[in-house]
């Protein structure tokens, strides 16, 4: 298993956002985490990536615990996330956004950047080339000189993806990547996510758009009221009685 | 800036003592140079990491006292004392950064203000070390000497002008290299969006502490320059008004740009002097305030970014 979550519990005051959740994400596949609003999906993402401390339970990535690590340390292990709300570096150019994403691929320290010797210049050129490739990959090459905040919404979401990809994830967590996108943009995004997976990146995503989820997922995990109520391939999940009830209500 | 523009500016700066014959005007230029180093230093924090230090005078003062004490009490030559001033201020910055940057924002501001207050109290009350409010007179001027060949003393204003120009240029290039590097990008990332920066592996606290250390060391270097220029150090180097002046220079000039703080430093060192000549003392501060409000009101991003945007638009009308 790539990512293993065991008995994860998070309490917000009297509310159990996660009440002892366990699931696993298989390497090289696209796994989706779905569930009604307030089911605990983003909470799970926040705990996995170190933005929130769990009250109980454990997160392991490739067998090594991530619990208690700061987000930057989690990123260093190859686990990178995007955010539910649009999150870019607004006042700098698209290119600079990608360059910031490449932070972990550079090594230059204080003295070497002040002296700016040959090695630092080569590293910068190398990073700039990488940034260009990544922007090309998500389809933002033509926007590289624009200020990030000036991009239309859909392109800002692509830029977020570019920033995350620049950090060279082996496990990429996408928190509602399609929210706010129009149908053609969503279709393009599906293709993009599949191409990322083809490069060997494991994908774990939270998404409300069922066409997208059912269209690209290998595995779907359903969360409701802080509990996993179902897990399986999309076709199975769509027929699952508890899932139908959680989404349609009733009872 | 274009290559030609840069060369022209360098030529003007190098030739300044030739056409500025008045020691008074040269004095203003020297102070502008010292303030340029201070503004560049504060800008590294405020402009690039987005953290505001309102105790920057503390690092300036630590630099001034370190340099003065080492040369006066221990007989150190000026140059190693200059280096020690920057190093000790940087060390103080490290301590402040480590204790306060876990909190950021308003807490960092409060800790820096308190730190400046404490350093000033120490300078006033630790009579044995600092001579208290009487200050330390007779701080030596730096000199360059090759035994038997030549000896150049920086006692005169012209010589000191070149020394300050060299240090200010050094500070500028240091900041330039830093902000256009992986480290500078980490600073900017933390200013723009800390959660996102962390999520791609930028260690927030580590880079913020690094920014404070470099910034404090630059302020310490400026303090040393000041001490060996005025040849006298007293607790006034810790005054809050120094910090305020630095902040005005950075914000009015254009924070987050390299030229902004330098332009701000020259402008706001010269302005009070111009006003002093132009009006009576009652109107000086009033006019200073009115001008400042006008700049902030009409050029909220600062002088340099506004002018740069205007030039870009003129060059490429779309």
Domain locations along chain A: 1-78+169-251, 89-167
Which residues in A lie closer than 8 A to residue B207 (C-beta atoms)?
A: none
Question: In terms of DSSP bridges, do strands A64-65 and A56-61 run parallel, antiparallel, or are they unpaired?
Answer: antiparallel
pLDDT, tens digit, for every residue of A122-165? 999 999 999 999 999 999 999 999 999 999 999 999 999 999 99
Instruction: Give the pairing of strands A79-81 and A171-175.
Output: parallel
Report the half-sphere exposure of B89 (CA within 13 A, side-chain side). 36
By Cβ distance, the residue of A87, A90, A92 closest to B195 is: A87
Asked whether A223 and A34 are in contact (CB, 8 A), the reply is yes
Quick one: DSSP state of residue A148? G
Residue with structure tokens 């308190």?
B114
The answer to whether the CB atoms of A103 and B214 lie below 8 A apart is: no
> Chain B residues contacting A, CB < 8 Å?
174, 177-178, 181-186, 188-189, 192-193, 195-204, 210, 214
> A247 CB near a chain B CB, below 8 Å?
no
Q: CA geometry: angle at A203 spanning A197 and A204, to 5°?
A: 165
Query: How high is the pLDDT of residue B316?
Result: 74
Looking at this predicted complex, what is its ipTM?
0.93
Q: Where are the alpha helices (DSSP H) in A85-204?
A: 94-101, 110-115, 118-138, 153-166, 183-198
Give me the residue from A49, A72, A81 closest to B202, CB to CB: A72
Cβ contact (<8 Å) for A164 and B200?
yes
Give the integer Cα–Cα distance in Å for A157 and A177: 7
Residues of B with CB below 8 A from A81's CB? 199
Q: Which residue of B has its CA nearest to A109?
A: B183
Mutate to test the interface with A, among B182, B218, B318 (most CBs of A within 10 A): B182
Structure tokens at B146: 């090759």
Name the token pair of A1.
Answer: 């298993």
Q: Does A113 touch chain B (CB under 8 A)?
A: yes
The alpha carbon of residue B179 is apart from the nearest alpha carbon of chain A, in Å, by: 9
Restricting to A residues 143-182, those with a Cβ less than 8 Å away from any Cβ of B are 163-164, 166-167
Q: Residues with Cβ < 8 Å from B47, sequence gap 6 or more?
A: B250, B255, B256, B257, B260, B261
Q: Is residue B12 part of a domain?
A: no
Look at A80 and B199 and tell me if their CB atoms are within 8 Å. yes
Residue with tokens 């404070």: B212
pLDDT above 90 for B151: no
* φ and ψ of B61, to 5 deg: -65, -40
Give chain B positions within 8 Å (CB) of A42. Answer: none
How many residue pairs bridge chain A and chain B with CB atoms within 8 Å of each other? 98
CATH code at position B304: 1.10.3470
Q: How far is CA A134 from the centre of its chain?
A: 16
Tell me the per-residue pLDDT of B94-123, one tens digit each, with 9 for 90 and over.
999 998 877 788 889 999 999 999 999 999
CB B268 within 8 A of CB B257: no
Q: How many domains does chain B have?
A: 1
Instruction: Determine the average pLDDT of the residues in A197-209.
Output: 94
Give the pLDDT confidence score for residue B106 in this predicted structure: 87
Sign of the Cα torsion B12, B14, B19, B23 reads positive
What are the φ/ψ torsions at residue A250 (nearest 5 degrees)? 90, -165
Contact at CB, A166 and B189, closer than 8 angstroms: no
- pLDDT at position B257 over 90: yes
Report the pLDDT value the prediction gives residue A251, as an integer from 0 to 100: 47
Q: How far is B254 from chain A (nearest CA, A)?
A: 14
Interface residue A101 vs chain B (CB under 8 A): yes
Choose the closest CB to A103 out of B177, B182, B195: B182
CA distances from residue B141 to B16, B77, B83, B221, B294 in whole angstroms, order as listed: 22, 10, 15, 15, 40
| Residue B43 included in any domain | yes
The whole-number pLDDT of residue A184 equals: 92
Q: Does A103 sit within 8 Å of B201, measured CB to CB? A: yes
Locate A203 and state its tokens.
Answer: 């994908």
Candidates B178, B185, B214; nearest CB to A103: B185
Q: Which of A87, A109, A110 minimises the CB distance to B196?
A: A87
The full length of chain B comes to: 318
Within a domain: B8 = no
For residue B143, is pLDDT > 90? no
For residue B177, the chain A residue with the least C-alpha distance is A114
Cβ-Cβ contacts under 8 Å for B252 (sequence gap 6 or more): B264, B267, B268, B292, B295, B296, B299, B302, B303
CA distance B182 to chain A (A): 7
Identify the pLDDT of residue A85: 87
Residue contact A100–B202, C-beta within 8 A:
yes
What pLDDT score does A218 carry?
Answer: 95
Min mean pLDDT across A33-37, A69-73, A200-204 is at A33-37
Residue B201: which of A89, A104, A109 has the nearest Cβ? A104
Set of chain A residues whose Cβ sits within 8 Å of the Cβ of B195: 51, 71, 83, 87
Q: Find which of B201, B205, B209, B215 to mutate to test the A interface (most A CBs within 10 Å of its CB).
A: B201
Task: Give, as one character, the DSSP assignment of residue A160.
Answer: H
Residues A196 and A170: their CA atoms lie apart, in Å, by: 10
* A237 to A26, A35, A241, B5, B123: CA distances (angstroms): 17, 12, 9, 67, 72
Parallel, antiparallel, or unpaired: how do β-strands A56-61 and A3-12 relate? antiparallel
CA distances in angstroms from A235 to A48, B33, B131, listed in the order given: 27, 71, 83
CA of A240, closest CA in chain B: separation in Å? 35
Q: What is the mean pLDDT of chain B?
A: 91
Per-residue pLDDT at B36 exceeds 80: yes
Q: Taking residues B15-41, what's their average pLDDT? A: 92
Residue B134: which pLDDT band, with cuts at 50, 70 and 90? confident
- Nearest by CB to A71, which of B182, B184, B199? B199
Nearest to A49 among B197, B199, B203 (CB): B199
Test A103 with B186 for CB contact under 8 angstroms: yes
What distances in angstroms separate CA B31 from CA B27, B199, B216, B250, B312, one per listed residue?
6, 43, 19, 16, 32
Q: How confident is the model at residue A249 (pLDDT cuts 50, 70, 90)?
A: low
Structural domain includes residue B15: no
Structure token pair of residue A31: 């796994």
Q: What is the pLDDT of residue B279?
A: 80
Residue B212 has phi, psi (to 5 degrees) of -65, -40
Q: Which CATH class is domain A1-78+169-251?
A: alpha beta
Residues of chain B neighbouring A51 (CB-CB closer than 8 A): 195, 198-199
A8 neighbors A22 (Cβ within 8 angstroms):
yes
Nearest chain B alpha carbon to A168: B200
Q: Per-residue pLDDT for B255 more than 60?
A: yes
| Token pair for A2 | 């790539």
Collect all residues with Cβ–Cβ distance below 8 Å to A101 and sequence separation of at least 6. Answer: A131, A134, A162, A163, A164, A165, A166, A167, B200
Domain limits at B226?
Answer: 23-315
């Amino acid at each position: 298993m790539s990512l293993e979550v065991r008995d994860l519990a998070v309490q917000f005051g009297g509310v159990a956002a996660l009440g002892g959740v366990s699931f696993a994400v298989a390497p090289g596949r696209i796994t989706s985490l779905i569930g009604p609003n307030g089911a605990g999906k983003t909470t799970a993402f926040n705990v996995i990536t170190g933005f929130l401390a769990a009250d109980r339970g454990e997160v392991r990535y490739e067998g090594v615990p991530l619990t208690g690590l700061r987000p930057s340390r989690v990123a260093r292990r190859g686990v990178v996330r995007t955010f539910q709300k649009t999150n870019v570096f607004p006042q700098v150019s698209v290119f600079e956004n990608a360059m910031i994403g490449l932070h972990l691929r550079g090594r230059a320290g204080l003295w070497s950047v002040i002296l700016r010797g040959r090695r630092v210049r080569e590293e910068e050129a190398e990073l700039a080339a990488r940034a260009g490739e990544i922007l090309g990959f998500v389809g933002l090459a033509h926007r590289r000189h624009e200020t990030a905040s000036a991009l239309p919404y859909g392109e800002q979401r692509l830029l977020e993806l570019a920033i995350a990809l620049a950090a060279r994830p082996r496990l990429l967590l996408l928190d509602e990547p399609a929210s706010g996108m129009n149908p053609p943009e969503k279709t393009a995004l599906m293709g993009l996510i599949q191409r990322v997976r083809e490069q060997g990146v494991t994908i774990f995503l939270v998404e409300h758009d069922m066409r997208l989820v059912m269209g690209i997922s290998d595995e779907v995990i359903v969360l409701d009221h802080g509990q996993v109520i179902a897990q399986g391939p999309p076709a199975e999940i769509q027929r699952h009685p508890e899932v139908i009830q959680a989404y349609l209500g009733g009872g | 800036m274009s290559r030609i523009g840069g060369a022209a500016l360098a030529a003007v700066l190098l030739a300044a003592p030739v056409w500025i014959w008045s020691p008074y005007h040269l004095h203003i230029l020297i102070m502008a140079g010292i303030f340029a180093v201070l503004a560049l230093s504060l800008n590294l924090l405020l402009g690039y990491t987005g953290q505001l230090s309102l105790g920057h005078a503390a690092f300036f003062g630590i630099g001034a006292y370190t340099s003065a004490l080492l040369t006066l009490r221990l007989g150190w030559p000026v140059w190693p004392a200059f280096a020690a001033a920057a190093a000790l201020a940087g060390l103080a910055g490290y301590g402040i950064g480590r204790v306060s940057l876990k909190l950021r924002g308003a807490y960092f501001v409060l800790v820096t203000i308190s730190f400046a207050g404490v350093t000033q109290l120490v300078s006033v009350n630790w009579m044995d070390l600092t001579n208290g409010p009487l200050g330390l007179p007779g701080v030596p001027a730096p000199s360059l000497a090759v035994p038997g060949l030549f000896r150049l003393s920086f006692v005169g204003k012209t010589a000191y002008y070149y020394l300050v120009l060299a240090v200010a240029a050094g500070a500028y290039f240091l900041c330039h290299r830093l902000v256009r590097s992986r480290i500078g990008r980490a600073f900017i990332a933390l200013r723009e969006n800390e959660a996102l920066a962390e999520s791609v592996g930028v260690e927030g606290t580590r880079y913020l502490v690094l920014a404070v250390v470099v910034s404090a060391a630059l302020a310490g270097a400026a303090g040393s320059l000041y001490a060996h220029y005025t040849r006298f150090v007293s607790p006034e180097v810790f005054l809050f008004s120094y910090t305020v002046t630095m902040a005005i220079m950075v914000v009015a000039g254009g924070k987050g740009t390299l030229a902004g703080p330098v332009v701000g430093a020259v402008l706001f060192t010269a302005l009070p002097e111009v006003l002093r000549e132009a009006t009576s003392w009652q109107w000086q501060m009033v006019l200073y305030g009115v001008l400042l409000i006008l700049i902030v009101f009409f050029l909220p991003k600062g002088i340099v970014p506004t002018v740069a945007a205007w030039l870009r638009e003129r060059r490429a009308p779309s």
